[in-house]
Structure 1
């Protein structure tokens, strides 16, 4: 690595200080901010926030599409001594009301259309409301400047709420150091440089979505935020803005590889990054064929510790299903059911230690204690660690492989079945391009395997063809009892397939059929 361990940890807003004055930093609709303008806008927004909210450590929420407000707020709130609560713009008023109440936000800044959807009682009386344009105009009109922060790097600077797919959303507490070191690590292993241009397509309320801003600015590069409607919008943006870096989650990568890419446009990309789910062998091959000049980074992470591992792009063709090894500033151990470090090839729980570990869940000591526990005795960092609940194994070369989530394993007729293994087998048939395996209640089996798929556009295969091929590759107890075909998979606010919602819909369908 490039000696990142020696670099000082600074307050988050110092990231705006890293680029050359006249270098492009942020492409907005109608204008491009260079680093001198970025610094000025951050300083003025921070000064306005500090005037409106003098209490240090108070929470300020944003609920808007990607733009000047949502891109500048992580740094401006940090400089003002506040804690930023970015709310996914896809959430509805009830979810927003919960986040505002739970976080104790004293200010909400949003787009007029979104604010208009809030019902009486959704916004606490103690929470000011500002329209996005009015807030930005007020910050510029104030004309004040706030100097760079001198905050303790261990101070809280953001609360990122999980999607709530497994219950009510949890607010993950992040410090300046958490986000600074996350930006430092990703900038380092991706090899980002000042001439890089990152297309930010993921929600900025998502940990890696926000990191795309921070790691690019850490390198002195330029960010181009994009709220895309269709995958072809991504192609157009790469061409128009000479994009070098593109990150996405697997459902979007599937769509991106299904549209036409002019060879010259594809060649602009230097690196592709994946998070939020594993890449399949077939998808890796399609991405490598479509973008032969780009380095493909498969990554694994969890909001509670940001990023844990990445796979060296030189290994993606020979080890396409591997999660790779730990990233800088992270320690990843595989702990077996006896509490010891697993042997090579032995399944265990992924445990993440080190300074990327977040501070727990906001005002939720019970759920914090379930996930954040003392690091294993073998840890070189010690302290608190994130016990992920993900089952993995490590091979003799130190490469990690995902097995499945402990709470997602299907228990059928006494057998433990990894949904991922069933899904990979379905995708390997070439008859489907997306697959989700779920365990649903069954009076005889305990749980039966249900497979939800989206068919490949070029395939004319039937359910019988799919099941026949699965029976050739899977043991009988893993073959799905029922296959459900869908025109499209439901996507959650974080861009991933909504597995929990899908399971609930199927359970309701089965209950309705039974009655």
Structure 2
């Protein structure tokens, strides 16, 4: 019985040792080779003194080294922390400090940028490329040096399915990113649940185009390894590159977020590109009906799976392909191993067409937020169907998403009950954006919020109060450059406006309700003006 994610690879290495497991560019690793690399690196971690549940952070683009590092951390009994490669040093520094990582796996260029924000808890930095200038350092190792530390005869520890395996960082409605803490069981059951309704098999070849730090992206690996299929790692800049790789690598399963699907829907799919494609999936935001119809028209034999989830409980719902065009706005029903409730303001389960908060219960629910009891208590509460006679808490995660259901039980997303911005597949904290822009010398006050955007889900608007007498054009350019230096692209405002004073409500807080109403159609207006030009 498979209980840990590294066992997924080990089992496949015994069943199909010479079959491809992961690919990158023109290289492929077989399951036997991948398993050998994982176990060697796990022994190297143990030689470095990695203790049970210590955190190993991986700050790399999608590559063999990032996958091997993650699964080796699991095999050594550590907790892996994948960090989105597009994050800037302030965000990376926060994550490293928050989880008290002791080992950082990264590249030379990234290490140089991070030097000023590295916390004291870091004992070793492992660079996956050239380390010539660090040869005398006792704390900076090359990928090759790390491998030489492995003791071939040493045994790996026994890992329990209840052991903490990973911390995935996700933005909240306020403050910096929080670490969602997941057990081995969370990850294994998540893979099994999705693989079940996708009907995954060893003949599948998945394209991993999403960040590994995104649970939706990471699950492409676990689903693939669970079924004995293969997974191709790919970073892209333009949507057309995706179509080329789907065709070139004979991809059967493609998982993306709405932003990418919107771009792909406007491109022509050669018959050869989709002839091997068995299914496509969407998560990280709703897919427009227009985009869905275009995709189905371009790929008539491909099954579309529309999914909804949150990092705190992996995946919650999916809409079967046969319902996609019938109910294109639905997020579907609960996936296997999930129990979904819609709870109203009185704490009661909603009737059909009554709006309430989506609550997810069951074994996919995370342990909570790393070192953040206050937010854990706020989001993780007793399950609505708990058995009072059972002493254990039976926790559920309260999503903050307002949904409704029809008489047949299909659910529909309505909105959020907090200020969270959902853009390009990411959940973004307005406060995190505000805290960065506020450091600009010319900024007196700043408020950030999301409004509807056709392609992004929500576009980020920043309204900034500035010192009088400044030239707006110069200031706009300066602030955009500042955001480019200190914020990842997906957090940078899509529209910036200036004012003397930001409106506030009677409680003295920014009046976001009025501001959202004022800027509700700003991106539609911008699009219309561009068309007129």
State whether TM-score is above 0.5.
yes
Contact 1:310–1:325 (Cα < 8 Å) also in 2? yes
Unaligned runs of 5+ in 1: 1-7, 411-418, 428-432, 442-489
Q: What aligned pairs does 1:385-464 form with structure 2 within 5 A after superposition?
A: 385-408=396-419, 423=452, 433=455, 436=458
Counterparts of 2:10 and 2:121, CA distance in 1: 37
Paired with 2:374 and 2:383, the residues of 1 have a C-alpha distance of 18
Name the residue aligned to 2:522: none
Who is 2:265 aligned against?
A: 257
1:187 matched to 2:195? The reply is yes
Matches of residues 254-403 of structure 1 in structure 2 within 5 Å?
A: 254-377=262-385, 383-403=394-414
Aligned position for 1:240: 248
Counterparts in 2 of 1:164 and 1:70: CA distance versus 1, 3 Å: farther
Q: Which residue does the alignment assign to 2:148? A: 141
- 1:72 corresponds to which of 58, 61, 68: 68
- In structure 1, C-alpha distance between the alignment counterparts of 2:122 and 2:31, rounded to whole Å: 35
Report the equivalent of 1:12: 5
1:89-124 deviation digits (Å, cap 9, x = unpaired): 111111111111111011111011111112434342
Q: What's the counterpart of residue 94 of structure 2?
A: 98
Give the structure 1 partner of residue 53 of structure 2.
57
Q: Relative to structure 1, is the Cα distance of residues 396 and 277 closer, same or farther in structure 2, using a 3 angstrom cutoff?
A: same
Displacement of 1:436 in angstroms is 3.5
TM-fit CA distance, 1:128:
1.6
1:43 aligns with 2:39: yes
Name 2:178's counterpart in structure 1.
170
1:377 Cα deviation (Å)? 3.6
SS at match of 1:252: helix
The 3 A distance-change label for structure 1 pair 197 and 340 is: same
CA contact (8 A) 1:13 1:148 kept: no
Distance 1:334 1:17 in 2: 40
Q: State the alpha-carbon separation in 1 of the partners of residues 157 and 358 from structure 2.
A: 35
Residues 320 and 121 of structure 1: CA distance in aligned 2, closer, same or farther (over 3 Å): closer
Partners in 2 of 1:228 and 1:361 — Cα distance? Answer: 31
State the Cα deviation string for residues 434-486 of structure 1 (Å, max 9, x = none). Answer: 56478999xxxxxxxxxxxxxxxxxxxxxxxxxxxxxxxxxxxxxxxxxxxxx
Aligned to 1:210: 218
SS of residue paired to 1:217: helix
1:243-287 per-position Cα deviation (integer Å, ceiling 9, x unaligned):
111001101111122233212112221110101001111111111
CA deviation profile, 1:290-319 (whole Å, cap 9, x unmatched)? 111111010000011111000011100101
Q: Which residue of 1 aligns with 2:168?
A: 160
2:506 paired residue number: none
Kept after mapping to 2: 8 A contact 1:60/1:83: yes
Aligned to 2:429: none
- Say if 1:493 and 1:260 are closer, same or farther in 2 by CA, change over 3 A: farther
Return closer, same or farther for 1:320/1:304 CA change in 2, 3 Å cut-off. same
Contact conserved, 1:309 with 1:327, CA < 8 A, in 2?
Answer: yes
Preserved contact between residue 343 and residue 350 of structure 2 (Cα < 8 Å)? yes
Q: Deviations over 1:130-179 (max 9, x none)?
A: 20246432354346456665211111111111146742010111110011
* Alpha-carbon distance between aligned partners in 1 of 2:111 and 2:172, rounded to the nearest angstrom: 21
Paired with 1:357 and 1:139, the residues of 2 have a C-alpha distance of 35
Asked if structure 1 preserves the Cα contact closer than 8 Å seen for 2:41 and 2:150, the reply is no
Instruction: Kindly state the Cα deviation for residue 378 of structure 1 after the two structures are TM-superposed.
Output: 6.4
CA-based RMSD? 2.9
- 2:23 corresponds to: 27
Compute the displacement of 1:350 (Å): 0.4
Between the aligned partners of 1:129 and 1:403, the Cα distance in structure 2 is 45
What's the counterpart of residue 518 of structure 2? Answer: none
Partners of 1:203 and 1:186 lie apart in 2 by 18
Distance apart, 1:355 and its partner CA? 0.7
Inter-CA distance 379–336: structure 2 relative to 1 (3 Å threshold): farther
- Native 8 Å contact 1:18 1:217 kept in 2: no
Report the number of matched residues. Answer: 437
Secondary structure of the 2:260 match is helix
- Using the size of structure 2 for normalisation, the TM-score is 0.76
